[in-house]
Structure 1
Amino acid sequence: MKIVSKITLILFSTMMIVSCNETKTTRKVQYMGDTDMYNSVPYDTYSQPEAFPEGFVALTPVEGTVSRSRAIYDVPNSEEGYLFAKDSINSPLELNEKNLDQGKYLYGIYCAVCHGDKGDGQGALVKNEKFLGVPNYKDRDITDGSIYHVIMHGRNLMGSHSSQLNDTERWQVVQYVEKLRSDLISN
Protein backbone atom coordinates (compact mmCIF):
# COMPACT_ATOMS: atom_id res chain seq x y z
CA MET A 1 0.00 0.00 0.00
CA LYS A 2 2.90 2.32 0.72
CA ILE A 3 4.28 1.79 -2.79
CA VAL A 4 0.92 2.71 -4.40
CA SER A 5 0.77 5.91 -2.33
CA LYS A 6 4.30 6.88 -3.25
CA ILE A 7 3.70 6.24 -6.96
CA THR A 8 0.47 8.27 -6.85
CA LEU A 9 2.24 11.14 -5.10
CA ILE A 10 5.09 11.10 -7.62
CA LEU A 11 2.66 11.02 -10.61
CA PHE A 12 0.57 13.85 -9.15
CA SER A 13 3.65 15.99 -8.49
CA THR A 14 4.98 15.35 -11.99
CA MET A 15 1.64 16.29 -13.58
CA MET A 16 1.50 19.51 -11.59
CA ILE A 17 4.99 20.53 -12.66
CA VAL A 18 4.39 19.67 -16.33
CA SER A 19 0.97 21.34 -16.48
CA CYS A 20 2.27 24.61 -15.03
CA ASN A 21 4.80 25.07 -17.84
CA GLU A 22 4.26 28.59 -19.28
CA THR A 23 5.08 27.66 -22.90
CA LYS A 24 2.16 25.22 -23.02
CA THR A 25 -0.50 27.81 -22.12
CA THR A 26 0.31 30.39 -24.80
CA ARG A 27 -1.34 30.07 -28.18
CA LYS A 28 0.84 29.39 -31.14
CA VAL A 29 -1.90 30.18 -33.68
CA GLN A 30 -4.81 32.55 -33.22
CA TYR A 31 -7.43 31.99 -35.93
CA MET A 32 -9.58 35.04 -35.30
CA GLY A 33 -6.72 37.55 -35.27
CA ASP A 34 -6.95 40.24 -32.63
CA THR A 35 -10.74 40.22 -32.28
CA ASP A 36 -12.97 40.34 -29.25
CA MET A 37 -13.55 36.61 -29.59
CA TYR A 38 -10.26 35.80 -27.82
CA ASN A 39 -9.59 39.09 -26.05
CA SER A 40 -12.96 40.29 -24.81
CA VAL A 41 -13.37 43.87 -23.71
CA PRO A 42 -14.34 44.09 -20.02
CA TYR A 43 -17.20 46.40 -19.13
CA ASP A 44 -18.26 47.56 -15.71
CA THR A 45 -21.70 46.44 -14.63
CA TYR A 46 -24.39 49.02 -15.54
CA SER A 47 -21.84 51.28 -17.21
CA GLN A 48 -22.72 53.33 -20.27
CA PRO A 49 -21.07 51.79 -23.38
CA GLU A 50 -19.05 54.15 -25.55
CA ALA A 51 -21.00 53.04 -28.63
CA PHE A 52 -24.21 54.54 -27.19
CA PRO A 53 -23.24 57.83 -25.51
CA GLU A 54 -26.89 59.00 -25.23
CA GLY A 55 -28.32 55.71 -24.03
CA PHE A 56 -29.32 52.56 -25.85
CA VAL A 57 -30.69 54.34 -28.91
CA ALA A 58 -30.04 51.34 -31.15
CA LEU A 59 -32.87 49.46 -29.43
CA THR A 60 -35.58 51.79 -30.70
CA PRO A 61 -36.47 52.61 -34.31
CA VAL A 62 -34.74 55.58 -35.87
CA GLU A 63 -36.69 58.80 -35.41
CA GLY A 64 -39.19 59.31 -38.23
CA THR A 65 -39.40 55.61 -39.14
CA VAL A 66 -41.82 52.85 -38.20
CA SER A 67 -40.62 49.47 -37.04
CA ARG A 68 -41.90 46.60 -39.21
CA SER A 69 -42.27 44.28 -36.24
CA ARG A 70 -44.33 46.58 -34.04
CA ALA A 71 -47.58 48.41 -34.59
CA ILE A 72 -47.86 51.83 -33.05
CA TYR A 73 -50.71 52.15 -30.59
CA ASP A 74 -50.21 55.35 -28.68
CA VAL A 75 -53.60 55.59 -26.99
CA PRO A 76 -52.81 56.02 -23.28
CA ASN A 77 -53.75 53.47 -20.66
CA SER A 78 -56.30 55.66 -18.91
CA GLU A 79 -60.06 56.07 -18.69
CA GLU A 80 -59.84 58.86 -21.29
CA GLY A 81 -57.82 56.57 -23.57
CA TYR A 82 -60.36 53.79 -23.15
CA LEU A 83 -63.25 56.12 -24.01
CA PHE A 84 -61.33 57.52 -27.00
CA ALA A 85 -60.64 54.00 -28.30
CA LYS A 86 -64.25 52.98 -27.72
CA ASP A 87 -65.59 55.91 -29.76
CA SER A 88 -62.91 56.36 -32.41
CA ILE A 89 -61.06 53.17 -33.32
CA ASN A 90 -62.37 50.55 -35.75
CA SER A 91 -60.90 47.32 -37.01
CA PRO A 92 -58.71 47.69 -40.09
CA LEU A 93 -59.25 44.03 -41.03
CA GLU A 94 -61.84 42.82 -43.45
CA LEU A 95 -64.58 40.82 -41.75
CA ASN A 96 -64.29 37.38 -43.37
CA GLU A 97 -64.29 33.70 -42.45
CA LYS A 98 -60.50 33.44 -42.43
CA ASN A 99 -60.15 36.22 -39.83
CA LEU A 100 -63.05 34.88 -37.75
CA ASP A 101 -61.61 31.35 -37.76
CA GLN A 102 -58.20 32.60 -36.68
CA GLY A 103 -59.86 34.83 -34.06
CA LYS A 104 -61.80 31.84 -32.73
CA TYR A 105 -58.60 29.80 -32.52
CA LEU A 106 -56.73 32.55 -30.64
CA TYR A 107 -59.73 33.26 -28.41
CA GLY A 108 -59.74 29.59 -27.41
CA ILE A 109 -56.09 29.85 -26.37
CA TYR A 110 -55.99 33.20 -24.60
CA CYS A 111 -59.54 34.24 -23.67
CA ALA A 112 -61.90 31.28 -23.22
CA VAL A 113 -60.30 30.13 -19.98
CA CYS A 114 -61.79 33.20 -18.26
CA HIS A 115 -64.49 34.54 -20.61
CA GLY A 116 -65.90 31.15 -21.61
CA ASP A 117 -66.31 29.58 -25.04
CA LYS A 118 -69.51 31.56 -25.66
CA GLY A 119 -68.33 34.86 -24.15
CA ASP A 120 -70.74 34.47 -21.24
CA GLY A 121 -68.07 34.94 -18.55
CA GLN A 122 -68.20 31.28 -17.54
CA GLY A 123 -64.71 30.04 -18.36
CA ALA A 124 -62.94 27.24 -16.51
CA LEU A 125 -61.24 29.63 -14.08
CA VAL A 126 -64.56 31.28 -13.23
CA LYS A 127 -66.31 27.95 -12.73
CA ASN A 128 -63.51 26.86 -10.39
CA GLU A 129 -63.78 30.20 -8.55
CA LYS A 130 -60.23 31.29 -9.35
CA PHE A 131 -61.56 34.58 -10.75
CA LEU A 132 -64.94 36.08 -10.06
CA GLY A 133 -66.78 38.86 -11.85
CA VAL A 134 -65.64 38.15 -15.42
CA PRO A 135 -68.12 40.07 -17.57
CA ASN A 136 -70.61 38.61 -19.98
CA TYR A 137 -70.19 40.23 -23.41
CA LYS A 138 -73.97 40.55 -23.71
CA ASP A 139 -74.11 42.94 -20.76
CA ARG A 140 -71.22 45.14 -21.88
CA ASP A 141 -71.27 48.26 -24.03
CA ILE A 142 -68.18 47.40 -26.06
CA THR A 143 -66.88 48.29 -29.52
CA ASP A 144 -63.98 47.20 -31.70
CA GLY A 145 -61.83 49.96 -30.24
CA SER A 146 -62.66 49.24 -26.60
CA ILE A 147 -61.96 45.52 -27.01
CA TYR A 148 -58.65 46.25 -28.72
CA HIS A 149 -57.72 48.75 -26.01
CA VAL A 150 -58.40 46.21 -23.26
CA ILE A 151 -56.33 43.57 -25.07
CA MET A 152 -53.48 46.08 -25.37
CA HIS A 153 -53.53 47.53 -21.85
CA GLY A 154 -55.78 45.31 -19.76
CA ARG A 155 -58.61 46.55 -17.57
CA ASN A 156 -59.59 45.86 -13.96
CA LEU A 157 -58.41 42.29 -13.18
CA MET A 158 -57.59 41.46 -16.79
CA GLY A 159 -53.95 42.01 -17.66
CA SER A 160 -52.55 43.10 -20.99
CA HIS A 161 -52.28 40.49 -23.73
CA SER A 162 -50.31 42.69 -26.11
CA SER A 163 -47.17 40.58 -25.74
CA GLN A 164 -49.00 37.35 -26.60
CA LEU A 165 -50.76 38.59 -29.74
CA ASN A 166 -49.44 40.65 -32.62
CA ASP A 167 -51.47 43.48 -34.14
CA THR A 168 -53.32 41.37 -36.72
CA GLU A 169 -54.10 38.63 -34.18
CA ARG A 170 -55.54 41.19 -31.76
CA TRP A 171 -57.92 42.47 -34.42
CA GLN A 172 -58.92 38.89 -35.30
CA VAL A 173 -59.78 38.26 -31.65
CA VAL A 174 -61.74 41.53 -31.61
CA GLN A 175 -63.82 40.35 -34.58
CA TYR A 176 -64.52 37.03 -32.91
CA VAL A 177 -65.52 38.71 -29.62
CA GLU A 178 -67.94 40.92 -31.57
CA LYS A 179 -69.40 37.78 -33.19
CA LEU A 180 -69.83 36.12 -29.77
CA ARG A 181 -71.48 39.28 -28.46
CA SER A 182 -73.97 39.41 -31.34
CA ASP A 183 -74.74 35.68 -30.83
CA LEU A 184 -75.43 36.29 -27.13
CA ILE A 185 -77.68 39.27 -27.84
CA SER A 186 -79.69 37.40 -30.50
CA ASN A 187 -80.34 34.42 -28.17
Structure 2
Amino acid sequence: MLAMNKVRIISATVFTVAATIVISACGDKKTPGLEFARNMYDPIAYNPDQPNKNFANGQTAQLPPEGTMPVGYDPVADIYPNTPEGYLAASENLKNPLPANQQNRLEGRQLYLRMCSHCHGNQGKGDGPIVQQEFFPPPPSYSTGNSSRGGAMKDLTDGKIFHTITYGLNLMGPHRTQLSPSERWKIVMYVHELQKLQ
Protein backbone atom coordinates (compact mmCIF):
# COMPACT_ATOMS: atom_id res chain seq x y z
CA MET A 1 0.00 0.00 0.00
CA LEU A 2 2.85 2.35 0.91
CA ALA A 3 4.65 1.54 -2.38
CA MET A 4 1.45 2.22 -4.31
CA ASN A 5 1.13 5.67 -2.73
CA LYS A 6 4.78 6.51 -3.64
CA VAL A 7 4.14 5.61 -7.28
CA ARG A 8 1.01 7.78 -7.33
CA ILE A 9 2.84 10.71 -5.74
CA ILE A 10 5.76 10.47 -8.21
CA SER A 11 3.37 10.11 -11.16
CA ALA A 12 1.35 13.12 -10.05
CA THR A 13 4.52 15.19 -9.63
CA VAL A 14 5.82 14.29 -13.10
CA PHE A 15 2.43 15.01 -14.66
CA THR A 16 2.20 18.39 -12.87
CA VAL A 17 5.71 19.44 -14.01
CA ALA A 18 5.01 18.37 -17.61
CA ALA A 19 1.68 20.18 -17.66
CA THR A 20 3.29 23.33 -16.26
CA ILE A 21 5.97 23.26 -18.99
CA VAL A 22 3.39 22.79 -21.76
CA ILE A 23 1.09 25.50 -20.46
CA SER A 24 3.91 28.01 -19.95
CA ALA A 25 5.20 27.33 -23.50
CA CYS A 26 1.81 28.28 -24.91
CA GLY A 27 1.79 31.66 -23.21
CA ASP A 28 2.70 35.09 -24.60
CA LYS A 29 4.06 34.75 -28.15
CA LYS A 30 5.75 38.15 -28.05
CA THR A 31 8.49 37.09 -25.65
CA PRO A 32 11.06 34.52 -26.75
CA GLY A 33 11.11 32.95 -23.31
CA LEU A 34 14.33 31.96 -21.66
CA GLU A 35 17.33 31.73 -23.99
CA PHE A 36 20.44 29.74 -23.29
CA ALA A 37 23.79 31.11 -24.51
CA ARG A 38 22.43 34.19 -26.28
CA ASN A 39 25.90 35.06 -27.60
CA MET A 40 25.65 32.06 -29.91
CA TYR A 41 22.87 33.94 -31.73
CA ASP A 42 24.42 37.38 -31.51
CA PRO A 43 28.19 36.85 -31.87
CA ILE A 44 30.47 39.20 -29.99
CA ALA A 45 33.03 39.36 -32.80
CA TYR A 46 32.57 41.64 -35.78
CA ASN A 47 31.80 40.16 -39.18
CA PRO A 48 34.38 41.14 -41.86
CA ASP A 49 31.88 43.34 -43.71
CA GLN A 50 30.59 45.22 -40.64
CA PRO A 51 31.67 48.74 -39.74
CA ASN A 52 34.09 48.78 -36.84
CA LYS A 53 34.79 51.84 -34.70
CA ASN A 54 37.97 50.25 -33.33
CA PHE A 55 39.92 51.11 -36.50
CA ALA A 56 40.62 54.56 -37.93
CA ASN A 57 39.14 53.69 -41.34
CA GLY A 58 36.02 52.15 -39.75
CA GLN A 59 36.44 48.78 -41.48
CA THR A 60 36.62 45.40 -39.79
CA ALA A 61 38.56 43.69 -42.60
CA GLN A 62 42.02 45.24 -42.63
CA LEU A 63 44.82 44.79 -45.14
CA PRO A 64 47.72 42.69 -43.83
CA PRO A 65 50.92 44.53 -42.86
CA GLU A 66 53.26 45.27 -45.74
CA GLY A 67 55.79 42.53 -46.48
CA THR A 68 53.78 39.69 -44.95
CA MET A 69 52.97 36.45 -46.79
CA PRO A 70 49.95 34.19 -46.39
CA VAL A 71 50.49 30.95 -44.52
CA GLY A 72 51.79 28.31 -46.91
CA TYR A 73 52.59 30.81 -49.69
CA ASP A 74 55.45 29.67 -51.90
CA PRO A 75 57.02 32.58 -53.82
CA VAL A 76 59.00 30.19 -56.04
CA ALA A 77 55.93 29.64 -58.22
CA ASP A 78 55.69 33.36 -59.00
CA ILE A 79 59.40 33.80 -59.69
CA TYR A 80 60.22 30.45 -61.34
CA PRO A 81 57.24 29.17 -63.36
CA ASN A 82 56.83 25.62 -64.59
CA THR A 83 58.58 26.24 -67.90
CA PRO A 84 62.01 25.34 -69.31
CA GLU A 85 63.02 28.97 -68.75
CA GLY A 86 61.84 28.81 -65.14
CA TYR A 87 63.82 25.58 -64.66
CA LEU A 88 67.02 27.19 -65.98
CA ALA A 89 66.46 30.37 -63.96
CA ALA A 90 65.95 28.27 -60.82
CA SER A 91 69.21 26.44 -61.60
CA GLU A 92 71.12 29.70 -61.77
CA ASN A 93 69.50 31.61 -58.93
CA LEU A 94 68.10 29.21 -56.31
CA LYS A 95 70.44 28.08 -53.55
CA ASN A 96 69.48 26.02 -50.54
CA PRO A 97 68.79 28.50 -47.70
CA LEU A 98 69.02 25.84 -44.98
CA PRO A 99 72.28 25.18 -43.15
CA ALA A 100 73.94 21.94 -44.24
CA ASN A 101 73.94 20.33 -40.80
CA GLN A 102 73.35 16.79 -39.60
CA GLN A 103 69.79 17.44 -38.42
CA ASN A 104 68.66 18.81 -41.80
CA ARG A 105 70.33 15.91 -43.62
CA LEU A 106 68.65 13.40 -41.31
CA GLU A 107 65.23 15.02 -41.79
CA GLY A 108 65.89 15.17 -45.54
CA ARG A 109 66.65 11.44 -45.53
CA GLN A 110 63.44 10.66 -43.65
CA LEU A 111 61.39 12.82 -46.02
CA TYR A 112 63.09 11.26 -49.04
CA LEU A 113 62.40 7.73 -47.79
CA ARG A 114 58.76 8.60 -47.13
CA MET A 115 58.03 10.63 -50.27
CA CYS A 116 60.53 9.63 -52.98
CA SER A 117 61.99 6.17 -52.39
CA HIS A 118 58.97 4.29 -53.74
CA CYS A 119 60.10 5.35 -57.24
CA HIS A 120 63.70 6.52 -56.89
CA GLY A 121 64.78 3.75 -54.50
CA ASN A 122 66.46 4.04 -51.10
CA GLN A 123 69.86 4.79 -52.69
CA GLY A 124 68.51 6.96 -55.52
CA LYS A 125 69.30 4.39 -58.20
CA GLY A 126 65.81 4.40 -59.74
CA ASP A 127 64.92 0.97 -58.36
CA GLY A 128 62.03 1.67 -56.00
CA PRO A 129 59.27 -0.87 -55.29
CA ILE A 130 56.90 0.62 -57.88
CA VAL A 131 59.54 0.32 -60.58
CA GLN A 132 60.41 -3.25 -59.55
CA GLN A 133 56.79 -4.28 -60.09
CA GLU A 134 57.09 -2.88 -63.63
CA PHE A 135 54.24 -0.41 -63.25
CA PHE A 136 56.35 2.52 -64.43
CA PRO A 137 59.67 2.98 -66.23
CA PRO A 138 62.55 3.61 -63.82
CA PRO A 139 63.67 7.18 -63.15
CA PRO A 140 67.37 7.83 -63.80
CA SER A 141 69.91 7.13 -61.06
CA TYR A 142 71.11 10.22 -59.21
CA SER A 143 74.73 9.10 -59.44
CA THR A 144 75.03 7.56 -62.91
CA GLY A 145 71.93 8.51 -64.94
CA ASN A 146 71.21 11.33 -67.34
CA SER A 147 68.43 13.87 -66.87
CA SER A 148 65.61 13.97 -69.40
CA ARG A 149 66.27 17.71 -69.59
CA GLY A 150 69.90 17.12 -70.48
CA GLY A 151 73.06 16.66 -68.43
CA ALA A 152 74.08 14.16 -65.80
CA MET A 153 71.87 13.65 -62.75
CA LYS A 154 74.92 13.91 -60.48
CA ASP A 155 75.42 17.50 -61.70
CA LEU A 156 71.92 18.77 -60.89
CA THR A 157 71.98 22.00 -58.90
CA ASP A 158 69.94 22.95 -55.85
CA GLY A 159 67.56 24.98 -58.00
CA LYS A 160 66.98 22.24 -60.59
CA ILE A 161 66.18 19.65 -57.93
CA PHE A 162 63.93 22.04 -56.01
CA HIS A 163 62.11 23.06 -59.20
CA THR A 164 61.58 19.41 -60.17
CA ILE A 165 60.26 18.46 -56.72
CA THR A 166 57.96 21.48 -56.80
CA TYR A 167 56.48 20.95 -60.27
CA GLY A 168 57.30 17.34 -61.11
CA LEU A 169 58.69 16.05 -64.40
CA ASN A 170 57.53 13.39 -66.86
CA LEU A 171 55.70 10.76 -64.75
CA MET A 172 56.75 12.38 -61.46
CA GLY A 173 53.91 14.47 -60.10
CA PRO A 174 54.30 17.84 -58.36
CA HIS A 175 54.99 17.75 -54.63
CA ARG A 176 54.48 21.41 -53.69
CA THR A 177 51.16 20.67 -52.00
CA GLN A 178 52.56 17.70 -50.07
CA LEU A 179 55.87 19.19 -48.94
CA SER A 180 56.56 22.63 -47.52
CA PRO A 181 59.42 24.64 -49.06
CA SER A 182 61.72 23.81 -46.12
CA GLU A 183 60.91 20.09 -46.46
CA ARG A 184 61.73 20.27 -50.17
CA TRP A 185 65.04 21.96 -49.39
CA LYS A 186 65.89 19.18 -46.93
CA ILE A 187 65.20 16.59 -49.61
CA VAL A 188 67.44 18.56 -51.99
CA MET A 189 70.19 18.33 -49.39
CA TYR A 190 69.78 14.57 -49.14
CA VAL A 191 69.63 14.09 -52.93
CA HIS A 192 73.07 15.73 -53.10
CA GLU A 193 74.29 12.97 -50.77
CA LEU A 194 72.82 10.35 -53.12
CA GLN A 195 74.49 12.00 -56.13
CA LYS A 196 77.86 11.12 -54.58
CA LEU A 197 77.11 7.38 -54.36
CA GLN A 198 78.47 5.06 -57.08
TM-score relative to the length of structure 2: 0.64
In 2, the alpha carbon distance for the partners of 1:23 and 1:166 equals 59
User: Does the CA-based 8 Å contact 1:61-1:67 persist in structure 2?
Assistant: no
Structure 1: gaps (5+ residues)? 1-18, 40-49, 53-57
Q: Which structure's relative contact order is higher, taking Cα pairs within 8 Å and 6+ residues apart?
A: 1
What residue number does 1:160 align with?
174
1:89 matched to 2:87: no
User: Does the CA-based 8 Å contact 1:103-1:174 persist in structure 2?
Assistant: yes
Q: How far did 1:71 drift?
A: 3.9
Which residue of 89, 103, 106 maps to 2:108? 103
In 2, the alpha carbon distance for the partners of 1:98 and 1:63 equals 33
In 2, the alpha carbon distance for the partners of 1:95 and 1:68 equals 25
In 1, the alpha carbon distance for the partners of 2:166 and 2:73 equals 13
Which residue of 51, 55, 60 maps to 2:49? 51
- Structure 2: which amino acid aligns with 1:169? E
Q: How far did 1:155 drift?
A: 1.4
- Structure 1: which amino acid aligns with 2:194? L
- Structure 1: which amino acid aligns with 2:181? D
What residue number does 2:125 align with?
120
In 1, the alpha carbon distance for the partners of 2:67 and 2:157 equals 31
Structure 2: gaps (5+ residues)? 1-21, 43-47, 51-60, 146-152
What residue number does 1:177 align with?
191
What residue number does 1:70 align with?
73
In 2, the alpha carbon distance for the partners of 1:167 and 1:149 equals 11
Give the number of aligned pairs: 150
Q: How far did 1:32 drift?
A: 3.5
Deviations 1:16-66 (A, max 9, x none): xxx9xx739995212343x6x448xxxxxxxxxx939xxxxx8x9666422
In 1, the alpha carbon distance for the partners of 2:72 and 2:176 equals 13
Measured on the aligned residues, the alpha-carbon RMSD in Å equals 3.1
**Bigger CA radius of gyration:** 2
Q: How far did 1:83 drift?
A: 1.1
In 2, the alpha carbon distance for the partners of 1:131 and 1:62 equals 48
